[in-house]
Structure 1
Amino acid sequence: MKALVYGGPGQKSWTEVPDPTITDPRDAIIKVDTVTICGTDLHILAGDVPAVEPGRILGHEAVGTVVDIGGGVAGLNRGDRVLASCISACGVCRYCREGHYGQCLGGGGWILGHRVDGVQAQYARLPFADLSTYRLPATVSDDAAVMLADILPTSYEVGVLNGHVRPGDTVVVVGVGPIGLAAILTARLYSPSHIIAVDKAASRLQAAKQFGADIAVDANEDPLEVVRAVTGGLGADVVMEAVGTPGSFETCTALVRPGGRVANIGVHGKPAVLHLEDLWIKNVTITTGLVDTYSTPNLLGMLGAGQLDVGHMITHRFALDDFMEAYDVFAKPAETGALKVVLSHS
């Protein structure tokens, strides 16, 4: 089969590799029907995730059809159409029993495209398939479902829920790529009074307005002045970091009000300064997190009921063999206007 293989920082190729096989009774093999690229994949290619070794097949967001299952997999059958979660869960370790699947001690967590081969391929092996896949109803399209593999649960859990967004809050999202847009979309579920989007790209700020931001601010201007103007000088109740750079994190801590919350979602490859000389007295809560995907069933229910509209998230579609072009488009959003790119069998 063909797969997108990481060759080291800055190196990738769409190339022939051996077909995946069942190696554990709880494995399933899927034929990948629809797959997408994540900002985390770009961080890997930049060398920000050194645990990823050369030769690894990338990708952790896919919808596929089950073609083989191990003897220990319950609840799945060949031919089932499934969402492959970005998080794999053994289900029996302490963290899994507490619902913290991202911290799984039994060989799970974020492993696809990280510590084991991922799903940017024609076929993929899914460990712990009984707990790490979701059978999809016919009413949910592949394009919509693949948004639930990572970006929606990540934004919802690590951003909105960790940030404790409440009715009437002023919420700021710094960085409105796909993750930031999903944070805006799911923050709206809690009726904040204002959602302020901050980014450098005009196309993404325009998209943020479509997803529910009522104020869009160029990061090169003065976001703090805008936030203070709509909060009576206090600052934002919740600020979500959705970029993963030192500067964006420092911006978030400058925008939050005393007693507010900063929810870091972005993947950081470099140290960020924590200005405790300013923050120690302000009762600010800062949270970090890797998604656990405990919210995926609820989000899938909302998607099926029409309560979440993710259609505007996808800006480009490619055939599966066009992975190299898709990466080029996704990696240059300022030029291409790319949000999420989706690849599928033609």
Structure 2
Amino acid sequence: MKALVCHGDGSIELTDRPIPVIREDKDAIIEVTLSTICMSDLHIMHQTVPRAKPETVLGHEFVGRVMEVGNGVTKVKPGDRVAVNCITFCGECYFCREGFINNCEKGGWELGCRIDGCQAEYVRVPFADMGLTKIPDSVKDEEALFLGDILSSGYFGADLAEITPGDTVAVIGAGPVGLCAMMCAKLFGASRIIAVDIDDSRLELALRQQLADVVFNPSECDIEEEIKKQTAGRGADGVIEAAGGRDTFSLAWKAARPNGVVALVAMYEENQQFPLPQMYGKNLIFKTGGVDAVHCERLMRLIEAGKIHTDFLITHRSPLNEIEEGYRIFGNKEDGCLKWAVTPYQW
């Protein structure tokens, strides 16, 4: 089969790999019907993900069809359409039982990081009963594509932010995760969403999709002051940092009101500093973490009911044959690319 491999020097190559086989009783083999490129894939290429292993097939955000299951798999069967969780988790260890699946003692972020991922024709998914969500017949692949990663990340950010009905929430970053966070923040009851990004086209999209009520570009204004104007001088009740830029952590804590919550769901490529003397007396609560995607079943029901829609994020698509060009355009944010969807290889 064809698969996109990340070499030890960070370069990528579409090459031939053996079709994966069942190794453990809880494995499933999935035929990939639609996948996508994620910023986390770029972080691996940039060699800023310590847990990543070289010569691994990239990709962790996808949907597909079950081809084969191990003897220990009971919830899915060959022929089922499924969305795949970006996190591999056993469901039995201490952290899984507590709901912290990102910290699973036997898993974590494995697909496309430590074991071969989805930018290929077929994938082996460990702990399939935990990591696969059936796609209803009424839901298209495009609608379910982001379930197990960026939609779950956005939901996770909104959950961390402790949103209560009527809150004003600022979201730093209007990329795919940030847009999903805005959508989910409204589900949690936020009455006002403020979007912050340096890309005006993404801010316009947030307004057009009615995900944000107010938008600001930090290259054009003082974000802290503008948010105070929108909140009677207080600051945002909750802030979701979904950008991971050099200055976005600073923007996030400054935008929050005293005793507010700052949820950090971005993946940074550089260390961030807490300027504690400046923060003193603001009494902020910081919550961090990789996505604990434990709500996939709930999110799938919301998609099926029309309460959530993320297919608008797909701005580009191509077969697996052209995925290296997809990385170039997505990585450089060219041509208004938000998400590049990858269809099966064309032989």
**Coarse TM-score class (shorter-chain normalised):** over 0.9
Q: Which runs of 5+ in 2 are unaligned?
A: none
Structure 1 unaligned runs (5+)? Answer: none
2:180 corresponds in structure 1 to 182
**1:279 alignment partner in structure 2:** 279
Partner of 1:199: 197
Preserved CA contact (<8 Å) 1:245 1:272: no
**Displaced runs of 4 or more, over 3 A:** none
Q: Does 1:210 align with 2:208?
A: yes
Deviations 1:127-166 (A, max 9, x none): 0011110111111110111110201111111x10000112
Aligned residue number for residue 315 of structure 2: 315
| 1:82-97 matches, cutoff 5 A | 82-97=82-97
Q: Please state how far the C-alpha of 1:16 moved relative to its aligned partner.
A: 0.9
Q: Is the 8 A contact 1:9 1:44 kept in 2?
A: no
Using the size of structure 1 for normalisation, the TM-score is 0.96
Task: Note the alpha carbon deviations across 1:163-207, whole angstroms, 9 max, x for none.
Answer: 011222111111111000100111111332321111111111111
For residue 246 of structure 1, report the CA deviation from its aligned partner: 3.8
- Deviation string, structure 1 residues 215-252 (Cα, Å, up to 9, x no partner): 11112122112101111111111111111234110111
The aligned counterpart of 1:269 is 269
Identify which of 139, 159, 162 aligns with 1:161: 159
SS at match of 1:281: coil
C-alpha distance in structure 1 between counterparts of 2:256 and 2:75, whole Å: 45
What residue identity is the alignment partner of 1:145? A
Between the aligned partners of 1:66 and 1:187, the Cα distance in structure 2 is 33
- Aligned residues with identical type, % of pairs: 41
- Tell me which residue corresponds to 2:340: 341
Q: Residue 124 and residue 263 in structure 1: after superposition, are their counterparts in 2 closer, same or farther (change >3 A)? A: same
2: CA distance, partners of 1:49 / 1:336: 27
Q: Displacement, 1:315?
A: 0.8
Distance 1:180 1:197 in 2: 8
Residue 254 of structure 2 aligns to a residue whose secondary structure is helix
CA distance in 1, matches of 2:304, 2:326: 28
8 Å CA contact retained: 1:20, 1:123: yes
Provide the aligned C-alpha RMSD in A: 1.3
Structure 2 Cα separation of the partners of residues 65 and 228 of structure 1: 49
Query: What letter corresponds to residue 185 of structure 1 in structure 2?
Result: M
Q: Answer whether contact 2:84 2:133 (CA < 8 A) is retained.
A: yes
The within-5 A match list for 1:235-250 is: 235-250=235-250
> How many correspondences in the alignment?
343
CA shift for structure 1 position 50: 2.6
1:6 alignment partner in structure 2:
6
Partner of 1:131: 130
1:280: how far off?
Answer: 2.9
Q: How far apart, in 1, do the equivalents of 2:293 and 2:272 lie?
A: 26
SS at match of 1:149: helix
Q: 2 CA distance for matches of 1:156 and 1:278?
A: 30
Residue deviations 1:4-42, cap 9 Å, x none?
110135411111112111111111111110101111111
Residues 215 and 9 from structure 1, CA distance in 2 versus in 1: closer, same or farther, beyond 3 angstroms? farther
Distance 2:290 2:50 in 1: 17
**In 2, Cα distance between the equivalents of 1:100 and 1:77?**
27
Distance in 1 (CA, whole Å) between partners of 2:199 and 2:269 is: 21
Letter aligned with residue 326 of structure 2: A
Distance in structure 1 (CA, Å) of the matches to 2:9 and 2:273:
25
Q: Which residue of 2 aligns with 1:21?
A: 21
Give the superposition deviation at 1:259: 0.7
Aligned: 1:108 with 2:104 = no
Alignment-derived partner of residue 296 in structure 1: 296
1:311, CA displacement in angstroms? 2.6
Aligned to 1:48, what secondary structure does the other structure show?
coil
